[in-house]
Amino acid sequence: MEDDFFDITETTRAPFITFDQVPDLRVDIFDPQTAVFETIINDTGNAAESFELILSYTNDADEVFVVENFRVIQDFPHELRISLTEIADALSLELTDIEPGTLFDFSSKATAKDGTVYSSEVWDFERDELEYEENEEGEVIRVYDPGTARQGGDLDSDLTDLNSFKSAMSFRLVTFIPPPPIYRFTSFEEIPVPSNDRYCKREGEDETEDLQNNEGEPYVDWIASGVGPEIEIGFNSEFTSNDQGGFSCEQLGVLGANVDDGDQNGWSNGEQGYYAEDVDGILKITFDRVEIPTEHPQTGIRLDAFLNDTSYEGDDYLHIYVEVEKTNGSMETITLVNADPEMMESLSDEVIWHTFDSGLMPDVSAYTAVVEFSCNSGSEKLYLDYLLIYLPRE
């Protein structure tokens, strides 16, 4: 018989498989042939007879592919090693089809020593069918299913909330390519972060203005202290009215751990980044012009961004672009991303950091990066981190 993972009686020891330590769930695919996820898993409580991993993958057409019995494990502790080639073969994918930011989800079935099978899937419940037990003060002390609420095996959510307990019952791998050699960058780490997390406009709420730093508030401007590769690039912030009402004080600017949680799981590089919400207008961030010497005939530029999972509509957009000066004196504007509300919804649904990258370009003499973000709701949040101007890999 198959029970929900949480359907455990006092007399039943249910198997629970855990990571030896909380692992890095990112898979470096710079060399796809050798890309691998490695960790050690344990049978906590010595209650499992076997442990089956189930692989699922959703392609760009929203088609879901599921591989049962991707791995069956019977001995613990177990050195779990999942290679990218193994994943690709199981899903009938070419390695070249797997790009940075690809998600692979793993759920599981753990068979107890008495033969009971426990699933890491969380059952979907009809809330109207649940029954609530209250105490004398009318407080709910128990919620239970009388037998009609559980609707079957459709996933409602997985056990990612148990990461603090090193749960291996379900987890998600995400592919990435590590940053290339640095020429210039900013990760917003040099900038002081005040205890006050609100930035206040100096002019009227809906007035266009060049934003300026205010004492004791998050930085919206930064002057670089030099031009060396170890010195972070400076930037300037502006607000442009688009008749959405503007703002007086909002979380905006360079923040650290005190930023609103949008499930971004920290910053993509370091402990700080640039954050904006509910600007009710257009926020424009212009980074310093960075000159490229002729000794570097090929360079590229990239920026990490995270949009929290919410509804985007109307005048919302995210436009990240770069003014590129060439050695022959010409100029061009390259777009790293130009997302309308529909595309913003798609990006935010993935709940991951996205790296927007120009790729290597020849004969560049200077870069000026610009970010424009338009939103009109407190639930619409943008996180920026790790602007990188880079060199070819050796």
Residues 6+ apart with CB under 8 A from 109: 2, 51, 52, 54, 117, 118, 119, 120
Cβ-based neighbour number of residue 78 at 10 Å:
18
- What's at 222, amino acid-wise? W
pTM of full prediction above 0.75? no
Q: In whole angstroms, what is the distance from residue 153 CA to residue 98 CA?
A: 29
Residues 6+ apart with CB under 8 A from 251: 197, 198, 199, 218, 259, 260, 275, 276, 277
What is the torsional sign of CA 232, 234, 235, 236? positive
Q: Residue 192: is the preceding peptide bond cis (ω within 30°)?
A: no
Gyration radius (Cα) of the chain, Å: 25
Q: Where in the chain is the domain with CATH 2.60.40.2550?
A: 2-122+157-176
Give the model's pLDDT for residue 176: 85
For the record, the structure tokens of 208 come out as 């266009």
- Compute the CA torsion angle 339, 243, 314, 274 (nearest 10 deg): 40
Local confidence pLDDT in tens for the 394 residues of the chain: 445 444 444 446 788 899 999 888 889 998 899 999 999 999 988 999 999 999 999 998 889 999 999 999 999 999 999 999 999 999 999 998 898 889 999 999 999 998 988 888 644 445 566 565 565 655 544 445 565 554 444 333 333 344 445 889 989 998 988 778 999 999 999 999 999 999 999 999 999 999 999 999 999 999 999 988 899 999 999 999 998 999 999 999 999 988 887 788 889 999 999 999 999 999 999 999 999 999 999 999 999 999 999 999 989 999 999 999 999 999 999 999 999 999 999 999 888 899 999 999 999 999 999 999 999 888 899 999 999 999 998 7
At residue 332, what are phi and psi to the nearest 5 degrees?
-150, 155
Q: Where in the chain is the domain with CATH 2.60.120.260?
A: 182-390
For the record, the structure tokens of 25 come out as 């769930």
Fold observed for domain 2-122+157-176? Immunoglobulin-like (2.60.40)
H or E segment and range at residue 87? helix 84-91
Q: How far is CA 155 from the centre of its chain?
A: 21
Q: With contact defined as beta carbons under 8 Å apart, do 239 and 246 qualify?
A: yes
CATH superfamily label, 182-390:
Galactose-binding domain-like (2.60.120.260)
